[in-house]
Amino acid sequence: MKFCDESIKVFLDELGSDLSAPGGGSVAGLVSALSASLNSMVYSLTVGKKSYLSLSDSEQKMIDKFQKESKEFTLRSLDLMEEDRNNFLKLMDSYKFPKDSEEEKEKRKSAIKENTIKSMEAPLALLRESLGFYENLKIMAKYGNKMLLSDLGISAILLHASIESSIINVKVNLNALRSEEFFEKIDNELNEIMEKSIKEKSAISEVVDSVIYK
Q: Helix (H, G, I), strand (E, B), or coil: what is residue 63? A: helix
CB 100 within 8 A of CB 22: no
pLDDT for the residue numbered 48: 95
State pTM to two decimals. 0.93
Is pLDDT above 90 for 1?
Answer: no
- Distance between CA atoms of 214 and 201, rounded to whole angstroms? 19
Nearest one of 90, 77, 156 to 122, comparing CA atoms:
77
From 176, 139, 165, 211, select the one nearest 22 (Cα to Cα). 165
pLDDT digits (tens, 9 = 90+) for 126-168: 999 999 999 999 999 999 999 999 999 999 999 999 999 999 9
Q: Does position 3 have pLDDT exceeding 60, yes or no?
A: no
Note the helical H segments in the chain: 8-15, 24-44, 50-53, 57-94, 102-118, 121-143, 149-174, 183-212
Q: Which domains does the chain have, with CATH numbers?
A: 21-212 (1.20.120.680)
User: Residue 158: which residues within 8 A CB-CB, separation 6 or more?
Assistant: 31, 32, 34, 35, 38
76-120 per-position pLDDT tens digit: 999 999 999 999 999 999 999 999 899 999 999 999 999 999 999
Q: Do the Cβ atoms of 151 and 24 come closer than 8 Å?
A: no
